[in-house]
């Protein structure tokens, strides 16, 4: 039974009669059972079988050597970047490809930038990328990123090493670099919104020994410690990496703590023809569930209170843990062809509690609240990938080919939904805490929330070099999906659909010389309709079409730059219409985003490096009975950023490095109804570092000051009573010893 369910992942490989039988059986099982429908054993068997089969036709492997050419799609190489300058990316093509050869905009936040800025969250990393703003983060508990006007928490756009995740927080101390692919990406990554994907590239085991220990303290109170070790195990090509990180930092507002512990061991084997990596990351966390502030309807701005004083209670927090397990393998069949396989299981489990704001009396300052919570929330996902990549020649045309199958089973589940009673008496102008206890009342109608999707797909991509100047890229994906969502005891289905979908991508690149490339592309995306709270039944999936034109410059001096204009049209958005006194859900809504983006990074002089961006984004609703013409929420019309680092001349006491940056986010609509705006803001950051050898070890001290001028600003919002505030000034001192 379990193997049969697991085998559903790989339906595209099976004969038609067997596919049909298994698909129907799996669909029936999915709608009857809440248990995960995968067998880890079966999938792992499938993954390791293929390389083993391929191995029988390959040359016998001998003693492993560190000199062997390693698989670029998996192994992080120094050649990917030089300081601030990115050279290649794996996200857009799922192969190691020079940025100038890809007919889509790609932005990379390199390892050196993450280090200089002491980045600790995905939001901080993406400050450096054009066209990205923060979405509703569910009180700061979820990664929520808007790309080119589209995106929300849990939208499936965040990847780790090319694998989709359901984790609440995806950037940890294991992250090496961040890659952002702009625009619709369904061809290679399946169901998602059309804004793009964000890939966390993690640190990999290396065949040479390296180690680092670090410790930090924060001006908020508290600090953290970290360990990163890697090296060989024997002389047979086996390598390990062990990463551990823990932090306990006081929240920047008047109460709360951010706690996180990560342990991430991994092993890699570098054979002559085969590479295998097994990695595991376990995270335990506790963080404030902070709904921020509320809007004064008289002014359309946040209420005039001390931003450091919260409007909730000490029990407002999320406590959880997560796991991310991955097996990746690559086998070189011959000098032209490689076989890649991967399997991943990731899950996130949490409980949360909040004093939820309900309404505000702006005259008296009385905020009505309700004690709510979620117990036993569990999101989990199985992903299987098999692909073949290689090169071939047809006449004068060379082909870089990628083809394969993907399979995914995702289940988002929230067991007990706690709902208390509305309670007044809390004054935002003179807050007194501890007057409203947490509730234990479980609401059966809201509990057992579930959103399940199973999908299998076949994809193919051909990058054809027609001449020295011209590259034509053709790609397509055929996907089968089965989705169901709903809630309640007894369970009530909110949405249910299944079907197939084909999405194409076409791109053309012109390279007049070795530094420039001009490109144009057309791409599509889709996402099945999903509704837990409202009954919408079976509706066609959301779909989007995008046109993009751009230019890329890779200068010999060390600067990489991309300029792009785009137009994305999204349709089949669900809207509610009242006809004859009854409400009906219809897939007739639409939205459009168009804009200009600029990204650059690299070395200006021998001592000076910078990364910068600018975006103009015009995103609005194009077809909706209530919101037609409204701006999309949390999308800034204009945004920009710049960060520069300078290496000071060496001194007798060590080497010094300093840097500073500024980011600007323009005015944004605060909600879908455009009832209020979140004002624009500018925030500055700075750092100073020092390092020198000490007793055969390299010692480094680095001081970062974030929000240098202590700016008070709104980072995002979900409604007039869910308005998130950006963190105030923080100084972080970190000490590191390399060995």
| Percent of the chain scoring above 90 in pLDDT | 79
Q: Which residues contact 128 (CB under 8 A, 6 or more apart)?
A: 107, 109, 113, 601, 611, 612, 613, 641, 643
Chain centroid to CA 409? 18
Report, as an integer, the average pLDDT of 360-373.
96
Confidence of residue 20 (pLDDT cuts 50, 70, 90): very low
Predicted local distance difference test score (pLDDT) of residue 507: 97
Predicted local distance difference test score (pLDDT) of residue 9: 42
Q: How many CA atoms lie within 13 A of 191 on its CB side?
A: 28
Predicted local distance difference test score (pLDDT) of residue 55: 38
Q: What pLDDT, in 10s, does the model give residues 504-558?
A: 999 999 999 989 999 999 999 999 999 898 888 899 999 999 999 999 999 877 8
Predicted local distance difference test score (pLDDT) of residue 273: 95
Predicted local distance difference test score (pLDDT) of residue 10: 39
The larger pLDDT score, comparing residue 415 to residue 43, is at: 415
| Percent of the chain scoring above 70 in pLDDT | 88
Report, as an integer, the average pLDDT of 457-477.
96
Report the alpha-carbon distance of residue 655 to residue 677 in Å, rounded: 46
Pairing of strands 196-202, 158-160: parallel
* E-strand stretches of 511-558: 516-527, 542-554
Q: What pLDDT, in 10s, does the model give residues 120-172?
A: 999 999 999 999 999 999 999 999 999 999 998 888 899 999 999 999 999 99
Predicted local distance difference test score (pLDDT) of residue 578: 65
Report the alpha-carbon distance of residue 497 to residue 191 in Å, rounded: 14
pLDDT of residue 456 exceeding 60: yes
Predicted local distance difference test score (pLDDT) of residue 285: 97
Instruction: Give yes or no for a contact between 540 and 528, defined as CB atoms under 8 angstroms apart.
Output: no
Give me the phi and psi of 670, to 5 degrees please. -80, -25
Predicted local distance difference test score (pLDDT) of residue 586: 77
Report the alpha-carbon distance of residue 487 to residue 530 in Å, rounded: 12
Q: What pLDDT, in 10s, does the model give residues 554-579?
A: 987 789 999 999 999 999 998 877 66
Report the alpha-carbon distance of residue 232 to residue 350 in Å, rounded: 36
SS3 706: strand
Bridge partners, residue 223, by sequence: 217, 248
Q: What pLDDT, in 10s, does the model give residues 434-451?
A: 999 999 999 999 999 999
Mean pLDDT, all residues of the chain: 88
Question: What burial class does residue 14 get, using C-beta atoms within 10 Å of its C-beta: 0-12 exposed, 13-18 middle, 19+ buried?
Answer: middle
Confidence of residue 21 (pLDDT cuts 50, 70, 90): very low
Confidence of residue 15 (pLDDT cuts 50, 70, 90): very low
Q: What pLDDT, in 10s, does the model give residues 573-605?
A: 988 776 666 666 778 799 999 999 999 999 999
Confidence of residue 376 (pLDDT cuts 50, 70, 90): very high
pTM score of the predicted model:
0.88
Two tokens at 460? 């193919």
Report the alpha-carbon distance of residue 678 to residue 666 in Å, rounded: 9
Q: What pLDDT, in 10s, does the model give residues 39-87?
A: 333 433 343 333 333 333 333 333 333 333 333 333 434 457 788 988 8
Report, as an integer, the average pLDDT of 411-427.
96
Predicted local distance difference test score (pLDDT) of residue 79: 52
Predicted local distance difference test score (pLDDT) of residue 583: 67
Predicted local distance difference test score (pLDDT) of residue 57: 38
Two tokens at 563? 């300029």
Out of 4-8, 112-116, 247-251, pick the least confident.
4-8
Report the alpha-carbon distance of residue 11 to residue 21 in Å, rounded: 10
Instruction: Give yes or no for a contact between 378 and 352, defined as CB atoms under 8 angstroms apart.
Output: no
Predicted local distance difference test score (pLDDT) of residue 39: 37
Q: What pLDDT, in 10s, does the model give residues 633-648?
A: 999 999 999 999 999 9
Tokens 């190691």 sit on residue: 96
Question: What burial class does residue 618 get, using C-beta atoms within 10 Å of its C-beta: 0-12 exposed, 13-18 middle, 19+ buried?
Answer: middle
Q: What pLDDT, in 10s, does the model give residues 253-283?
A: 999 999 999 999 999 999 999 999 999 999 9
Task: Please report, for residues 176, 208, 212, 213, 283, the alpha-carbon distance to residue 242 in angstroms, rounded to integers and kept in the order given.
Answer: 14, 14, 11, 12, 14
The larger pLDDT score, comparing residue 562 to residue 37, is at: 562
Report, as an integer, the average pLDDT of 320-331.
97
């Amino acid at each position: 039974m379990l193997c049969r369910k697991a085998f559903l992942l790989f339906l595209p490989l099976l004969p038609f009669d067997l596919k049909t039988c298994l698909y129907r059986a799996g669909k029936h099982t999915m709608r009857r059972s809440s248990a995960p429908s995968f067998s880890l054993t079966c999938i792992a068997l499938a993954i390791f079988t293929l390389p083993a089969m391929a191995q029988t036709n390959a040359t016998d492997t001998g003693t492993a050597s560190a000199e062997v050419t390693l698989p670029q799609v998996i192994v992080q190489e120094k050649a990917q970047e030089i300081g601030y300058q990115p050279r290649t990316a794996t996200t857009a093509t799922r192969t190691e490809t020079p940025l100038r050869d890809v007919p889509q905009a790609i932005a990379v936040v390199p390892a050196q930038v993450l280090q200089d800025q002491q980045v600790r969250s995905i939001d901080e990393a993406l400050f450096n990328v054009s066209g990205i703003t923060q979405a509703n983060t569910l009180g700061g508990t979820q990664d929520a990123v808007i790309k080119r006007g589209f995106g929300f928490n849990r939208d499936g756009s965040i990847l780790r090493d090319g694998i989709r995740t359901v984790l609440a927080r995806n950037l940890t101390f294991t992250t090496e670099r961040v890659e952002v692919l702009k625009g619709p990406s369904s061809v290679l990554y399946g169901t998602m919104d059309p804004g793009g994907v964000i890939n966390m590239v993690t640190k990999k085991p290396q065949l040479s020994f390296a180690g680092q220990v670090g410790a930090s303290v924060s001006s908020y109170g508290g600090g953290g410690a970290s360990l990163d070790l890697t090296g060989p195990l024997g002389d047979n090509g086996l390598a390990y990496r062990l990463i551990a990180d823990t932090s306990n930092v006081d929240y920047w507002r008047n109460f709360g703590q951010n706690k996180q512990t990560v342990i991430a061991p991994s092993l890699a084997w570098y054979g002559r023809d085969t590479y295998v990596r097994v990695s595991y990351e376990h995270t335990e966390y506790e963080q404030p569930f902070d709904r921020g502030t509320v809007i004064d309807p008289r002014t359309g701005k946040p209420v005039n209170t001390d931003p450091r004083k919260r409007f909730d209670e000490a029990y407002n927090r999320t406590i959880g843990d997560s796991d991310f397990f991955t097996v990746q393998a690559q086998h070189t069949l011959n000098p032209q062809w490689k076989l890649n396989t991967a399997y991943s299981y990731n899950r996130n489990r949490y409980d949360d509690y909040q004093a939820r704001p309900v309404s505000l009396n702006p005259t008296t300052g009385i905020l009505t609240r309700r004690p709510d919570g979620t117990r036993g929330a569990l999101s989990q996902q199985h992903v299987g990938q098999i692909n073949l990549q290689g090169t071939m020649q047809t006449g004068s045309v060379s082909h870089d080919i990628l083809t394969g199958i993907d399979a995914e089973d995702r289940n988002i589940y929230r067991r007990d939904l706690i709902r208390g009673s509305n309670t007044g008496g809390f004054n935002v102008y003179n807050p007194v805490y501890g007057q409203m206890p947490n509730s234990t009342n479980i609401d059966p109608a809201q509990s057992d929330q579930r959103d399940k999707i199973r999908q299998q797909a076949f994809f193919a991509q051909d990058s054809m070099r027609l001449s020295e100047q011209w590259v034509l890229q053709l790609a397509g994906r055929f996907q089968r999906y089965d989705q169901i969502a709903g809630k309640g005891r007894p369970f009530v289905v909110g949405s249910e659909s299944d079907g197939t979908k084909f999405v194409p991508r076409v791109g053309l690149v012109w390279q007049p010389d070795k530094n420039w490339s001009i490109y144009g592309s057309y791409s599509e995306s889709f996402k099945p309709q999903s509704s837990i709270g409202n009954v919408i039944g079976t509706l066609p999936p959301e779909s989007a079409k995008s046109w993009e034109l751009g230019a890329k410059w890779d200068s010999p001096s060390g600067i990489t730059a991309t300029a792009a204009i785009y137009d994305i049209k999204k349709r089949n958005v669900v809207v509610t219409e009242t006809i004859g006194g009854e409400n009906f859900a219809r897939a007739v809504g639409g939205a459009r985003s168009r804009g200009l983006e600029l990204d650059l990074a690299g070395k200006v002089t021998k001592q000076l490096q910078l990364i910068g961006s600018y975006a103009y984004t015009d995103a609005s609703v194009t077809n909706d009975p209530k919101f037609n013409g409204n701006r999309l929420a949390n999308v800034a019309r204009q945004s920009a950023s710049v960060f520069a680092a300078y290496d000071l001349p060496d001194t007798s006491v060590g080497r010094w490095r300093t840097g500073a940056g500024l980011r600007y986010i323009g005015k944004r609509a605060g909600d879908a109804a455009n009832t209020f705006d979140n004002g624009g803001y500018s925030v500055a950051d700075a750092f100073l570092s020092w390092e020198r050898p000490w007793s055969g070890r390299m010692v480094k001290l680095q001081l970062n000051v974030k929000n240098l001028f202590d700016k008070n600003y709104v980072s995002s919002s979900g409604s007039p009573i869910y308005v998130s505030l950006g963190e105030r000034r923080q100084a972080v001192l970190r000490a590191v010893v390399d060995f």
